């Protein structure tokens, strides 16, 4: 039996998580925090530590080559701090006001996701202390530019040749097992009108009023599919603007809305575009003055790993060994870089400390006990799959 309690250096884990939080790392400003991560890996005795030109960090525990390669993935950047107080304090405080029992580490990026990165890195240290002879390689990657939602950091690693047989994303899951998330599709829909003087509006076609019809139809007529694990697709409006603008009294002939549509794995970019175009066509059929254009703005693919797959079952079993029960299978409401791993043929599952609903909020925090437990589950999984 593994003595995970003895192998987990709690003080070092907590101290390292705090140091990561105390190192600001907005997207494209990750060089300093990448140096902290790489330095910790080297101090823990990782066999290889690599930092690329973007400041992605990959640490490797080498196996004999007789087992699978297991990748743990996290990101080192964080969202903007907004009005958060002491965002880089990394202070340890009572977690009751955040919905936790016990103490938490507070600060921007604590739950999304420097706590999990710290747990992954320190799990590698636990493997070294245990003296486990690995058959397969274990890789821990801390990628950059994740918050920008283009997958730039993880895709750069994949394009450089990084590969694995299985992967774990450490995004927050309250220590439950996540099998994926809906995809994110953003499009711009522009309604077209005709200008006229604001004092004679009947002489034009107001593009804002036409957009109002479209937004009402999106709420009342637009059908959304549902997935047994990933939940219901959603649609909402993120932004709206009109032109020529209010500098002079002129009826606008263009109104553009940014629409956010969370989609399911079976849906495609073309099917989503066609759905919006069909809605516009229905509106035009009952309103000769309605005209609209639709174009893609952003595409972030959906992620789904079958619950029966080996990596999902392995994480459930590692969780059972450490926590006494396999826990629940669920899905994130937001997107993670694991989707790009799945697309590259590396089946990925999610497991991480903290409440995902605190990400990007002023209550950004990670519980100390979940941080320690996550580290132990990661260590157990390394042994189970690669030991």
Instruction: Please give the backbone phi and psi of residue 155, each rounded to the nearest 5 degrees, phi first.
Output: -70, -35
Task: Report CA-CA distances (Å) from 4 to 86, 180, 210, 221, 338.
Answer: 34, 28, 62, 54, 27
pTM for the model: 0.92
Give the per-residue pLDDT at 150: 87
Domain range summary for the chain, segments of one domain joined by + = 4-181+302-386, 183-300
Report CA Rg, the chain. Answer: 24
List, as one string, the DSSP characters of 18-73. Answer: HHHHTS--BTT--HHHHHHHHHHHHHTT-SEEEE-TT--EEEEE---SSS--EEEE
Q: Which residues pair with 236 in a beta bridge?
A: 260
List, as one string, the DSSP characters of 247-304. Answer: SSSB--SEEEEEEEEEE-TT--HHHHHHHHHHHHHHHHHH-TT-EEEEEEEEEE--EE
Residues with Cβ within 8 Å of residue 101, at least 6 apart in sequence: 95
Q: What is the pLDDT of residues 10-41, one digit of tens each?
A: 999 999 999 999 999 999 999 999 999 999 99
Q: What is the pLDDT of residues 159-210, one digit of tens each?
A: 999 999 999 999 999 999 999 999 999 999 999 999 999 999 999 999 999 9
183-300: which CATH topology?
Alpha-Beta Plaits (3.30.70)
Give the per-residue pLDDT at 2: 80
Q: Is 96 exposed, middle or buried (0-12, 13-18, 19+ CB in 10 A)?
A: exposed
Ranges in the chain, pLDDT < 50: none
Query: Which value, to the nearest 10 degrees, does the dihedral of the CA atoms of residues 262, 264, 267, 268 take?
Result: 60
Query: Would the CATH topology of 4-181+302-386 be identical to that of 183-300?
Result: no
CATH 2.40.110.10 fits 4-181+302-386, yes or no: no
| Closest CA relative to residue 116, chosen from 361, 344, 338, 347 | 338
Q: Is the Cα torsion angle 153, 379, 366, 347 positive or negative in sign?
A: positive
Strand 183-192 and strand 291-300: the pairing is antiparallel
């Amino acid at each position: 039996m593994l003595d995970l309690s003895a192998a987990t250096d709690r003080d070092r884990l907590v101290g390292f998580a705090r140091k990561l939080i105390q190192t600001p790392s907005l997207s494209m400003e990750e060089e300093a925090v990448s140096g902290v991560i790489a330095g910790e890996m080297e101090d823990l005795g990782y066999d290889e530590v690599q930092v690329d030109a973007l400041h992605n960090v990959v640490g490797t525990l080498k196996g004999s080559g007789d087992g699978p390669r297991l990748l743990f993935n996290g990101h080192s950047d964080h969202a903007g701090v907004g009005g958060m107080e002491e965002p880089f304090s990394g202070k340890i405080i009572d977690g009751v006001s955040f919905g936790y029992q016990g103490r938490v580490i507070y600060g921007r990026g604590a739950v999304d996701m420097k706590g999990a990165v710290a747990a992954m890195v320190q799990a590698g240290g636990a493997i070294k202390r245990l003296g486990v002879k690995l058959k397969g390689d274990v890789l821990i990657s801390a990628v950059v530019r994740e918050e920008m939602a283009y997958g730039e950091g993880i895709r750069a690693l994949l394009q450089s040749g990084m590969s694995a047989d299985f992967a774990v994303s450490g995004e927050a899951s309250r220590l439950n097992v996540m099998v994926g998330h809906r995809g994110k599709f953003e499009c711009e829909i522009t309604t077209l009108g005709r200008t006229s003087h604001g004092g004679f509006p009947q002489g034009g076609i107001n593009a804002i009023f036409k957009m109002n019809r479209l937004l009402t139809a999106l709420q009342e007529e637009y059908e959304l599919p549902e997935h047994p694990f990933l939940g219901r697709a959603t649609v909402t409006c993120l932004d709206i603007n009109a032109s020529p603008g209010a500098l002079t009294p002129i009826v606008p002939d263009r109104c553009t809305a940014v629409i956010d549509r969370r989609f399911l794995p079976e849906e495609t970019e073309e099917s989503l575009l066609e759905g919006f175009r069909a809605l516009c066509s229905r509106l035009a059929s009952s309103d000769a003055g309605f005209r609209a254009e639709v174009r893609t703005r952003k595409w972030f693919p959906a992620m789904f790993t079958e619950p029966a797959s080996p990596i999902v079952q392995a994480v459930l079993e590692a969780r059972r060994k450490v926590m006494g029960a396999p826990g629940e299978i669920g899905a994130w409401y937001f997107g993670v870089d694991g989707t790009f791993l799945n697309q590259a043929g590396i089946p990925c599952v999610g497991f991480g400390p903290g409440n995902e609903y605190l990400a990007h909020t002023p209550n950004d925090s990670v519980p100390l006990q979940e941080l320690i437990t996550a580290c132990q589950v990661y260590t157990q999984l390394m042994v189970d799959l690669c030991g």
